[in-house]
Amino acid sequence: MTTAVTETGIPGYVAAAWTIDPVHSEVGFSVRHMMVSKVRGRFTSFSGQIVTTEDPTQSSVTAEIDLGSISTGHEQRDEHIKSADFFEVETYPTMTYSSTGIKVEDGEYVLYGDLTLKGVTRTVPLTLELHGFATDPHGGYRAGFTATGEINRRDFNINTNVPMANGGVVVADKIQLHLEIEAVKA
């Protein structure tokens, strides 16, 4: 069912169930490295569902990310991140996110949800940007979103810390999250 723009303020808004399209989506991150640059990475295997409702603030999201699919462009680094020093993928193969609510804060939608990583669950807010809803060339219907946020790796028992001579550390605590999501109406 299509919701009128006057009800949601979002042009083309559709209340429906959606499946995240992994071919046209990206789950990425960046982290400060050696205090002077950033390393960027992404996960190549993930899935999820979105349910948009008549009232956008009642919508929901669930997602699962295969931690073994990490790609930073450097195989040796990727293998180290999969090890017990960081993700410990043999014991904790996935990371999950399950929304708990959406609020409008300072004119922006903020998605609140529980992120579970390495057996630890913490509430993580993601600022949402809605790009729109459109019919694709094959007759399907798609929606696009960007979500950004930040986590502290130590909150999830990722405590590996290699100090540097200048007082910094090799890998910063704060991790920037960046998701580009395209979803297909179920």
pLDDT of 10 reads 75
Residues 6+ apart with CB under 8 A from 46: 20, 22, 25, 27, 63, 64, 65, 66, 69
Whether 58 shows a pLDDT value over 90: the answer reads: yes
pLDDT, tens digit, for every residue of 87-133? 999 999 999 999 999 999 998 999 999 999 999 999 999 999 999 99
Q: Which domain holds residue 158?
A: 5-185
pLDDT of 73 reads 94
Which CATH number is 40's domain given?
A: 2.40.128.110
Instruction: Over range 146-158, report the average pLDDT.
Output: 95
Instruction: Over range 36-60, report the average pLDDT.
Output: 93
Q: How many domains does the chain have?
A: 1
Residue 50 β-bridge partners:
18, 61
Side-chain-side CA neighbours of 99 within 13 Å: the count stands at 23
pLDDT level of residue 36 (50, 70, 90 thresholds): low
Beta strands in the chain (DSSP E): 16-20, 26-33, 37-43, 46-52, 60-66, 70-71, 94-105, 108-117, 120-135, 141-152, 171-185
pLDDT of 51 reads 97
Instruction: Over range 136-163, report the average pLDDT.
Output: 89
More confident residue, 136 or 123: 123
Whether 41 shows a pLDDT value over 80: the answer reads: yes
Whether 33 shows a pLDDT value over 90: the answer reads: no
Q: What is the mean pLDDT of the chain?
A: 89
pLDDT of 133 reads 93
pLDDT level of residue 160 (50, 70, 90 thresholds): confident
